Structure 1
Amino acid sequence: MGTTEGPRRITMTPAARRVLEAAGRLFYERGIHAVGVDLIAAEAGVTKKTLYDRFGAKEQLVVEYLADRDERWRAFLAERLDPARPARERILAVFDASHAWSVRHGSKGCSMVNAHAEIDDPSHPAHPIIVGQKRWMLGLFTELAQEAGAGRLAGTLMLLHEGALVAHGLKIFADPIGHAREQARALLAQVS
């Protein structure tokens, strides 16, 4: 995630978990800056004091939200990347997983991209999570593309994937993730 240690994380109590679930839903639906701790506390059924006792500050809550989202995405993706399948199929499975995730977890596009639109200061404690998640995705595409004998396509595959996530959130045209998947398939077919 950009540093060897990564951002500080907290231990989740049941109350902290409720706060995180409420914050995650609200941050994704409305935006990080648009959501205040009063609303998060009310949605979670806790006092503001409990929220601050558990998280210390809204910044830490943002860290936990993004780290949790990233961890859940990586686990979700890992379940769909069967190492026994050929690398080209696993590349396309990344797009399939993104489509399934977006159906299940949100219609507003990528939470990391959305967060970066609000948090572009590298000194913010959540910034390494945002950038780290995208570096991890590029590393995944690089590894898979190299296994598929198409290493030079790694960056292009990443751009197709990320562009599809943004277009999905903007709802400019139907099924951008499926369209990106087909473009990735066509590119891979051109590499012998």
Structure 2
Amino acid sequence: MTDAVTDRERVVAAADRLFYARGVQSVGMDAVRTEAGVPLKRLYAAFGSKDDLVVAVLEHRSRTWDEGVARASAGARTPRERLLAVYDFLDGWFRSDDFRGCAFVNAYGELGGVSPAVAQAVRAHKLSFAQYVDDLVADLGAERALGAQLVLLAEGAQTTAAITGADHVAEDARRAAEVLIDAAVRRGPGA
């Protein structure tokens, strides 16, 4: 691995930790440089602006999300089990000591109105997750609207868990998802 690639990965990891813990706007590039242990000149060689760095962090978070959902559903045999695994993934994440809500929603709240690049990165992640759920709903043979309902449950669970700190939010969302899935399967597609 080249020094530039290593520096880039260290900067993204450091920025991710700092942005998630303290918020994007409260963290300056100098703090990222210090946390990453990379000279400021090399940081700016890798990322021309803070927006570029925020987008790289969000892309990293998106890959991390996808990997986490994939791990949670690795043992699932059916589309129903894979759909419910999303909520199992959320449950583990919500119980982690550093959980501070959805990094995408947090970044959008801070920068979405002033940074088209950040807004686009957030939308791309949310659309990708919705497509993942929609594909599983199609595999399940349920009506298309179920996908949007399950995504709303997952998104709402993230916000509720972050604000309330309650440790049962993902379990509650999972039980609601089971009801929705089972009702949709009974109705059949297009019913």
Give the TM-score category using the shorter length: 0.7 to 0.9
Q: TM-score, normalised by structure 2?
A: 0.85
2:155 counterpart of 1:157: no
SS of residue matched to 1:173: coil
1:37 positional shift? 0.7
1:173 positional shift? 3.4
Distance 2:97 2:8 in 1: 21
1:18 positional shift? 1.7
Distance 1:97 1:27 in 2: 22
Query: 2:61 maps to which residue?
Result: 69
Aligned AA (2:9): R
Which segments of 5 or more consecutive residues in structure 2 lack a partner in the other structure?
Answer: 187-191
Aligned-residue sequence identity (percent) comes to 34
Query: 1:136 maps to which residue?
Result: 128
Instruction: After TM superposition, list the pairs within 5 Å mapping 1:17-166 onto structure 2.
Output: 17-82=9-74, 85-104=77-96, 106-121=98-113, 124-151=116-143, 152-166=145-159
Aligned AA (2:34): A
SS of residue matched to 1:13: helix
Distance 1:12 1:133 in 2: 26
1:105-153 Cα deviation digits (max 9, x unpaired) = 8411111111111122385222222101111111122121222232231
Q: Which has the higher contact order (CA 8 A, sep 6+)?
A: 1
Distance 1:158 1:35 in 2: 31
Q: Which has the higher helix share?
A: 2
2:21 counterpart of 1:13: no
Distance 2:75 2:127 in 1: 21
Aligned AA (2:162): G
Stretch moving more, 52-61 or 20-29: 52-61
1:24 positional shift? 0.5
Distance 1:12 1:50, change over 3 A: closer
Which segments of 5 or more consecutive residues in structure 1 lack a partner in the other structure?
Answer: 1-10
Distance 1:179 1:128, change over 3 A: same
Aligned AA (2:56): E
Distance 1:136 1:155 in 2: 12
Distance 2:178 2:103 in 1: 25
2:179 counterpart of 1:186: yes
